[in-house]
Amino acid sequence: MTITRQAAPAAPVATAKLGGPSDRKWAAIFVSPAVLIMTAFMLVPILLTLWISLHEWSMLTPIGDMTWRGLGNYADLIGDPAFRGSMRNTIVYVLLVVALTVPLAVLLGLLLYFPRVGGKGAVRTALFATYVIPTVAIAMVWGALYAPTYGPFDQILGWFGISGVGWLSSPSTALISLVIFHVWQMVGYYTVLVVAGLTQIPGDLYEVARVDGAGFWRQTVSITLPMLGRTMTFIVLVAVVNAVQVFDPIYILTQGGPAGSTDIVSFSIQRAAFQYGLAGQASAMAFSLFIVMIAVVAAIMAAMRRRR
Amino acid sequence: MVGLNRGRWMVSALAALTMLAACGSDGAESGEDGNVQISFLTHWGPDQVTMLNEAVEAFEEENPDISVEVRAVPFANLLSTLRTQGSSPNGPTMASVYDLWLPELVRDGLAAPAPDAVADEVTSGWPENLVDVITVDDAVRGFPNEVNLYALNYNKALFDEAGIDAPPTTWDELRDTAEQLTDPEKGQQGFGVITSWPAGSVHPWLSLVASNGGQLLDGNTAQLEAGPVLETTQLYADLVADGSTVPEMSTANANTTGPYLDNFVNGKTAMIIMANWWKGSLSEAMGDRFDDVGVAPIPVGPSGSEPTGVSYSWLTVVNEQAQPAQQEAAWKFLSWLNGESSGEDGSSAMGDILMSMGILPSRTGDLDAHADDLSDPFLSAYVDQLPAATPFPIVLGGEELTVSVQQQLENVIFGSSDPETAMGQAQSEAQAILDKSGE
C-alpha cells in the first residue's frame, strides 16, 4: 500500500495586489500604527539594551551618567565561568523542556482529538487550566510538594521504599525538578495548539488512507504528523522561547541554587542588574541571549522548512 | 542608501531615547499647601507600617510644614525599587537599607552625609562598632536601626532526649554532639546548614570562620585561602561526611523560609547557626515548642580564642538627590523618629517598631528602654554576644562577593568540590570582584 503525501489544499487567500501610489499610501497609513507600536515597544528596548550593554551603569544614577565600556562587558562574559555555567544550564533546561513537552503534547492532542468519547472538553479545560494559573501561586505549591523528606512526593515514594530524591534540594535533581514543573504547567497549552492543528487536516485524507487499508499508526505516521508540520514548528519555537524566558519558579524556589545548578541566564540577568548593580553586564547577557535566540529560531525554522 | 536610512533611523531613535530619559518633573518638593513633602521607603510588613504611620501623624502634628509619605515594598523589591526610582525626581527621600548596599549608594550619590548635628547625635547615641559601619568617606550616612547577629540555636528537647547537658563550645564538641544528635531513621540531622540563600549560607559559615580567628577580607584583599577559613570549610565537609549534616535538608527559598526552617521547626535539625531576626518566624511556627529553642555562642575553632558571631545592620539614609529642603526635612524627621521623645518609656518610635518584630534595636537608649523585653532567654543570649560581634565587611561589590563565596561553599556541602579547591576558586573570584569594584 502506498500513501502519497499530498499537499494540504491551499487556503483561500486574498489575491488582490496593491495597485498604484494611492493604494500604497493607504496601506502605509493603515500599517503605520502597528509599525509605531512595534518600534516603541520592541525596537527601542532592544536598541537601548544594546546601548546599555556597552556601558557600566548601576541604575542608581540617571541613564545619561553611564560610563562607556565598549565591548568590555562582552569580554568579561566570555571569561566568566558563572555565565558559562548559566548558559549551559539554560541549554540543558531548554532541551529537556522541548524533548518532554512536544511529544507529550502531541500524544495528548491525538488522544483528545481522535477517540470518540465523552468528557474530552473537560480534560482539555483541565489541561489548559495549569497554563492559566499564575506561576507565582503555583510555584509555592510545587515548592511544598517538592519538600525533601516531609513533602508529599517524598512521602509517596517512601511507600515504595524510595527515599532521598532531593528534588529542588540537590544539585543533581533541582534542574530536572524545575523542568517537570514547567512541563506540567505548559503541556496543556501546547496540547490545545496540537488539537487546533489537527482540526486543519482534511478528513478526506484519512478516508482515502482507510480505503487503502492504512491503520491508525500508519495514518498517524504518514498523514497526521507530516500534516502537523507547521503547527509543530510553531510549538517548538514557542516552547524554546518560553523555556529560555523562565524566571518565576527559579526566583521563587531555588534562587539559582543549590550550588548554582539552576542558575539560568534569565535569573543571572536579574541578579546582575538588580542585586549587583551591573546593568551593563546584565544587558550584555540579555543581548547575547537575544542573538543566540535569533540563531536558534532561524535554525529551527530552516530545519522545519527542509523537512517539509 | 539603505545604510544611510538605517543610520539616520538609529540616531533618531537614540535622540528620542535621550529626550525620553530627560523628561520628568522637577520633583515634588512642595505640596499644594506649601508643605515640604518627603517619603520613606521601607520593606516592613503591614503592622510595622501602621506603627510608622502613627509616628508620622505625631511628627506632622508637631511639624505642620512637613508631610511624610510611607512607601512599603517587599524585601525582595527594596533594592530594585531604589535602583529604578532612587535618582528620579519623585524617588524616595529616605530609605531603609541593608548596610552592605551602603558603599554603592554613597558612590552613586544616594546616601547623603549627615549634617554635623545629626552626626554628633548618632555618634553619641549608638555603639561605636555600628557607627563605624555606617561611616563612609569620613561621614556618617544615616541612622542605624536594626542590628542582627548570628549565634548557635539548638533544640533543647532533642538534647535532653540524647542525654546531652550543654551546647557545644568548641568544634570538637560540635562534631561529637552533632553525631550523637543524628538519627537517619528519624530523618534527623545534628547540625543544619543553609543553601540557596547568599547571606543565609555565608553568614553562619563566616561566624565559624571568625570564631576560628579568620576573616573574609583584610581591607580590600580576600582571605579565603587562609588557614582558619580552610579549616572552617573542612569542618563543613567533615560534618557532611559524618552524616551529621544532610545537604538536602538545607535549602531556602525566596522568602528566606523553606526546608532549612521547616526542619528546625519540626525537630529534624538539632543545631543551626542563625540570626536573631528569625525569632518571629520560629515562635509563630513552633508555638509552645518555641520554649525548646536554646541560644548559645558560636563554637570556637582550633585556631580561635573566643566566640564571635557575624553581625549586620540596617540603617535609614537620606537621598542626596532630593531637594535641599527635602533633605533638611528628612534629617529632622529621622532625628525625631530615632529620638527618645517619639516612643514610649524613653524608647524611640523606631525602637518600638523594631521590638514589635522581635528585632534588636541598636540605639543604646532603646536597648535600655526595652531591657525587660530583651531579657527573654532567646534575645538576651544575642544581646550578650553583641559587644563581641564581627561586622560583615562592607565593601563595594559585597553582594556579588557573597554570592561567589556561597556558590563555592555549596560546592563543598554537596560534594562537588573539596575545601581547598573551592576556597581557591572563591579567592580568585572574590579578588576579581573587589578589584573590579575598586576600579
Q: Which of B23, B186, B189, B253 to mutate to test the interface with A (most CBs of A within 10 A)?
A: B253
In Å, what is the CA distance from B168 to each residue of A128, B304, B308?
54, 15, 14
B220-230, pLDDT tens digit by residue? 899 999 999 99
Q: Work out how many CB contacts closer than 8 A connect A with B.
A: 124
B276-300, pLDDT tens digit by residue? 988 888 998 999 999 999 999 999 9
- Pick B87's closest partner by Cβ from A62, A164, A277: A62
Cβ distance of A148 and B399 shorter than 8 Å: no
Can B28-147+312-388 and B150-310+394-438 be said to share one CATH topology? yes
Cβ distance of A258 and B250 shorter than 8 Å: yes
C-alpha cell at A21: 501610489
Given a cut of 70, is residue B193 above it in pLDDT?
yes
Q: List for chain A the helix, strand, coil content (%; round to 5).
A: 70, 0, 25
Residue B167 pLDDT grade (very low, low, confident, very high; cuts 50, 70, 90) = very high
A195-231, pLDDT tens digit by residue? 999 999 999 999 999 999 999 899 999 999 999 999 9
CB contact set of A183 (below 8 Å; sequence gap of 6+): A97, A100, A101, A104
Per CB-CB distance under 8 Å, the chain B contacts of A48 are 17
Per CB-CB distance under 8 Å, the chain B contacts of A170 are 247-248, 414
Considering only alpha carbons, which residue of chain B is nearest residue A151?
Answer: B259
CATH of domain B28-147+312-388: 3.40.190.10
- Pick A275's closest partner by Cβ from B84, B399, B404: B399
- Pick B253's closest partner by Cβ from A62, A252, A259: A252
Cβ distance of A275 and B400 shorter than 8 Å: yes
Per CB-CB distance under 8 Å, the chain B contacts of A166 are 248
Considering only alpha carbons, which residue of chain B is nearest residue A59?
Answer: B83
Q: Pairing relation of β-strands B66-72 and B36-42?
A: parallel
Given a cut of 60, is residue A14 above it in pLDDT?
no
* pLDDT for residue B24: 41
- Flag the least confident range among A120-124, A297-301, B101-105: A120-124
DSSP-derived letter for residue A223 is: I
Q: Where are the domains of chain B?
A: 28-147+312-388, 150-310+394-438
Q: How far is CA B371 from the centre of its chain?
A: 23
Please give, rounded to a whole number of angstroms, the shortest distance from the CA of A115 to a CA of chain B.
Answer: 43
B380-394, pLDDT tens digit by residue? 999 899 888 999 999
Task: Return the half-sphere exposure (C-beta side, CA atoms, 13 A cut-off) of residue B304.
Answer: 26
Please give, rounded to a whole number of angstroms, the shortest distance from the CA of B335 to a CA of chain A.
Answer: 26
Residue B16 pLDDT grade (very low, low, confident, very high; cuts 50, 70, 90) = very low
Q: Which CATH architecture has domain B150-310+394-438?
A: 3-Layer(aba) Sandwich (3.40)
**ipTM, 2 dp:** 0.83
Per CB-CB distance under 8 Å, the chain A contacts of B187 are 149-150
Check CB contact of A47 with chain B, cutoff 8 Å. Answer: yes
- The CA distance from B105 to B398, in Å, is 12
Q: Which CATH architecture has domain A80-307?
A: Orthogonal Bundle (1.10)
* pLDDT for residue A1: 40
C-alpha cell at A155: 512521602
- The answer to whether B210 touches B308, Cβ cutoff 8 Å, is yes
DSSP-derived letter for residue A42 is: I
* pLDDT for residue A117: 79
* pLDDT for residue B2: 37
- Pick A251's closest partner by Cβ from B10, B254, B258: B254
Cβ distance of B195 and A258 shorter than 8 Å: yes
- Calculate Rg over the CA atoms of chain A: 24
Given a cut of 50, is residue B51 above it in pLDDT?
yes
Per CB-CB distance under 8 Å, the chain A contacts of B247 are 169-170, 258
Of chain B, the percentage scoring pLDDT greater than 70 comes to 92
Which position has the higher pLDDT, B410 or B88?
B410
Given a cut of 70, is residue A144 above it in pLDDT?
yes
- The answer to whether B397 touches B436, Cβ cutoff 8 Å, is yes
- The CA distance from B406 to A273, in Å, is 19
Work out the average pLDDT over B391-411. 94
Torsion sign over Cα B360, B365, B368, B370 = negative
Q: List for chain B the helix, strand, coil content (%; round to 5).
A: 50, 15, 30
Work out the average pLDDT over B383-410. 92
Check CB contact of A252 with chain B, cutoff 8 Å. Answer: yes
Q: What are phi and psi of B191, to 5 degrees?
A: -135, 125
- The CA distance from A100 to B332, in Å, is 61
- Pick A48's closest partner by Cβ from B17, B83, B397: B17
Residue B30 pLDDT grade (very low, low, confident, very high; cuts 50, 70, 90) = low
List residues bridging with B188 in a β-sheet.
B183
A98-124, pLDDT tens digit by residue? 999 999 999 999 999 988 778 888 888
Given a cut of 60, is residue A184 above it in pLDDT?
yes
A63-108, pLDDT tens digit by residue? 888 999 999 999 999 988 899 999 999 999 999 999 999 999 999 9
